Amino acid sequence: MRYAGIDIGSRTIELVVVDEAGQILGSRQEDTGFDPLVRAKEMTRGLAYDCIMATGYGRNLFEISFEARTVTEIKAHAVGARFFFPQGTTVLDIGGQDSKAISMFDNGKVKKFEMNDRCAAGTGKFMEIMATSLGFEIDRFGDEALQGKKELHISSMCTVFAESEVTSLIAKGHKPQDIAMGLHKSVISRVAGMIKRVSGQGDIVFTGGVAHNPCMQHLLAEKLARKVLVPENPQLIGALGAALLARDAVEGHC
């Protein structure tokens, strides 16, 4: 038996297939594009699986079209994170348009969560806009920020106002690396508050596209004095969790 999980996010779609033992047989990742359902159909076309479960913001559209079961992003990320890091007590997921902090019981079930989905502050989109404002490629943003030496405080987390503040700091002659570090610290202050409200101890599993950022990893561990664990491909965790839940679904109801 082969079980698939698909995470239809605002920026990207991830697809993971696992076997009965939970081992990953394959994965795919594509930009969401203008029509996420069309892209999801393209990704599943020709793919061999016996059961599929969807998560992410587009899961309800997928459910109707494919008659598939769905699961919330919160539960999917908790299950996916625990697969790689059984010792993790908390998940921080920062995606393209939202961020989530999730705490778990010892058995891996969700204990408490907090989600920021009303504002782009601190999300992947926010980081992309700030990187562009400073003339950095997004893949290099974290490395450049780690070179920052001067302590700069970015007061606004609203994307529009933060971009204006960055422009002002550039005009005053501040180095882009210093500004980048200030932006990263502002984001970490925001997500650290979310984490503290759901969990006060234990290892943190960092997922989502922003988890690739080395400066975010470093500052998060430093700010909370907790170990930060990052999967090899942190963007696949939601889809993996959905695939594992599809495997565990009651036979005949998937």
pTM for this entry: 0.92
The C-alpha atoms of residue 145 and residue 141 are separated, in whole angstroms, by 6
Q: What is the pLDDT of residue 253?
A: 61
**Adjacent-strand bridge partners of 206:** 92
What are the chain's domains?
1-85+234-254 (3.30.420.40), 87-230 (3.30.420.40)
Q: What does the DSSP 8-state code read for residue 199?
A: -
By CB atoms closer than 10 A (0-12, 13-18, 19+), residue 99 is buried
Average pLDDT over residues 91-109: 92
Distance CA 252, CA 131 (A): 48
Summarised one tens digit per residue, pLDDT across range 187-214 is: 999 899 999 999 989 999 999 999 999 9
SS3 14: strand
Among 37, 40, 70, smallest CA distance to 55 is for 70
Instruction: Dump pLDDT digits (tens) for 219-241.
Output: 999 999 999 999 999 999 999 99
Backbone angles phi, psi at 253, to 5 degrees: -120, 10
Residue 233 in contact with residue 239, Cβ under 8 Å? Answer: no
The answer to whether residues 54 and 242 touch, using CB atoms and an 8 Å cutoff, is: yes
